[in-house]
């Protein structure tokens, strides 16, 4: 039995998601941790390991201990941007399997002021001056990839729109989503929405909001005695192929190839056996590229793959069934929400957005503008 399968996800929780300017990061964090523990049937003092930061975001995670009174004997952090927490779950599983920790909390939270128009890499230390001087945005970063993908493979704005339409459809089925109450959108709605960074339209771009969530992991052995059906990772992998976009060999394929090949190789399952997927949709093009890189279709065939509602529940590969980052929530390290939804799908707890009889689920997280990638395959323990 592989290391990963000796650990299980036993608790998940998401706070309310939205503007939440009146809530502090710390209050969302505390609620998320307590919620995930309650879901699992564990207590704060059971926790002895953590992935990511404590509630104050201190560089040393003792602030978690200050808050919850739980000394920690394990901490790890990965560099996969918004998917850093969820990517770290693979490391948590290995640490649990090898006895370095018994109960790991994987939290994320973001509250207070949100400034969607704040200059990114605004010239401060650490920003790349060869990017920020040109007024680039996250949207323009992804737009460069989308434009090149269209040129090389004939991908269309309508293909991109399929991703956004599916996400919104799922959001309407998920009362916890931010955009669900606005109702469904059509391909025409997406391609007619204002251009943000050509070829990306407003509906091709994710939400900017606050929120929190947490996941609790422990050994599969201990999980058998807890409240909920345990969910295990069958495979996990990461991939990093560049940091400076001018150093990327191509803007149409990234570390997702390595991440998915590692995860699928370890899991010993086939792509076509996956019944539900959660794939980072910071921007619609992300999903198309990651479907290709993960091997669900050949490179360049992501556009045709998503046609005809293929990503919607009932379609070929239901994807982002909670509404994703486009229409569900994109607060804090939102990779955690992707995993939360897949856990609920495997438990059969997804209510109106449930995919029937899910046995195998696939998560793919992108950080930055394609720089960091991770993949994971989940099943019931």
State the residues that interact with other proteins by CB under 8 A. Answer: 117-120, 122-123, 125, 127-137, 139-140, 143-145, 147-148, 151, 194-200, 244-248, 251
CA dihedral 262→264→267→272, nearest 10 degrees, is 180
Task: Spell 285-323 as b/e; 16+ CB within 10 A means b.
Answer: bbbbbbbbbbebbebbbbbbbbeeebbbbebbbbbbbbb
Shortest gap between Cβ of 155 and other proteins (angstroms)? 13
DSSP state of 324: I
Shortest gap between Cβ of 249 and other proteins (angstroms)? 9
Closest to other proteins by CB, 151 vs 224, is: 151
- Cβ contact 230:223 at 8 Å: yes
Handedness of CA 163, 168, 174, 177 (dihedral sign): positive
Closest to other proteins by CB, 77 vs 140, is: 140
Q: How far apart are CA 6 and CA 271, in angstroms?
A: 23
- Cβ contact 255:373 at 8 Å: yes
Closest to other proteins by CB, 248 vs 332, is: 248
Closest to other proteins by CB, 247 vs 357, is: 247
Closest to other proteins by CB, 99 vs 124, is: 124
Q: How far apart are CA 82 and CA 315, in angstroms?
A: 27
Beta carbons within 8 Å of 306's beta carbon, 6+ residues apart: 159, 162, 163, 166, 287, 288, 291
Q: How many helices (H) and strands (E) does the chain have?
A: 12, 11
Closest to other proteins by CB, 123 vs 265, is: 123
DSSP state of 353: G
Closest to other proteins by CB, 71 vs 123, is: 123
- Cβ contact 84:367 at 8 Å: yes
Shortest gap between Cβ of 205 and other proteins (angstroms)? 9
Shortest gap between Cβ of 299 and other proteins (angstroms)? 17
Shortest gap between Cβ of 140 and other proteins (angstroms)? 5
Closest to other proteins by CB, 252 vs 345, is: 252
- Phi/psi at 298 (nearest 5 deg)? -70, 160
Shortest gap between Cβ of 57 and other proteins (angstroms)? 23
Shortest gap between Cβ of 99 and other proteins (angstroms)? 38
Shortest gap between Cβ of 283 and other proteins (angstroms)? 12
User: Does residue 126 have a cis peptide bond before it, meaning omega lies within 30 degrees of 0?
Assistant: no
């Amino acid at each position: 039995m592989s290391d990963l399968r000796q650990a299980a996800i036993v608790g998940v929780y998401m706070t309310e998601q939205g503007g939440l300017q009146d809530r502090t990061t710390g209050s969302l964090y505390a609620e998320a941790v307590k919620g995930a523990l309650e879901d699992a049937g564990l207590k704060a003092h059971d926790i002895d390991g953590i992935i990511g930061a404590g509630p104050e975001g201190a560089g040393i995670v003792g602030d978690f201990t200050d808050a919850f009174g739980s000394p920690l004997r394990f901490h790890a952090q990965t560099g996969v941007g918004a998917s850093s927490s969820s990517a770290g779950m693979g490391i948590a599983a290995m640490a649990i399997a090898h006895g370095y920790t018994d109960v790991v909390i994987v939290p994320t939270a973001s509250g207070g002021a949100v400034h969607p128009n704040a200059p990114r890499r605004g010239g401060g230390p650490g920003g790349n001056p060869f990017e920020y001087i040109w007024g680039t945005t996250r949207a323009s970063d992804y737009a460069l990839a989308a434009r090149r993908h269209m040129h090389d493979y004939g991908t269309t704005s309508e293909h991109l729109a399929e991703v956004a339409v599916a996400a919104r459809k799922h959001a309407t089925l998920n009362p916890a989503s931010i955009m669900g109450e606005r109702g469904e959108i059509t391909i025409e709605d997406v391609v007619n929405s204002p251009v943000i960074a050509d070829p990306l339209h407003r509906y091709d771009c994710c939400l900017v909001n606050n929120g929190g969530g947490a996941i609790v992991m422990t050994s599969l052995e201990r999980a058998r005695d807890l409240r909920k059906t345990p969910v295990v990772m069958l495979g996990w992998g990461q991939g990093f192929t560049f940091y400076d976009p001018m150093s990327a060999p191509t803007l149409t394929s990234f570390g997702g190839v390595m991440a998915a090949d590692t995860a699928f190789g370890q899991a010993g399952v086939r792509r076509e056996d996956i019944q539900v997927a959660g794939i980072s949709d910071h921007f619609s093009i992300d999903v198309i590229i990651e479907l290709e890189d993960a091997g669900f279709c050949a490179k360049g065939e992501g556009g045709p793959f998503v046609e005809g509602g293929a990503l919607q529940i009932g379609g070929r590969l239901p994807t982002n069934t909670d509404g994703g980052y486009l229409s569900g929530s994109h607060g804090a390290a939102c990779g955690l929400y992707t995993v939360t939804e897949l856990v609920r799908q495997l438990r059969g707890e997804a209510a109106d957005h449930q995919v029937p009889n899910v046995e195998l689920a696939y998560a793919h997280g992108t950080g930055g503008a394609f720089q960091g990638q991770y993949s994971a395959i989940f099943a019931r323990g």
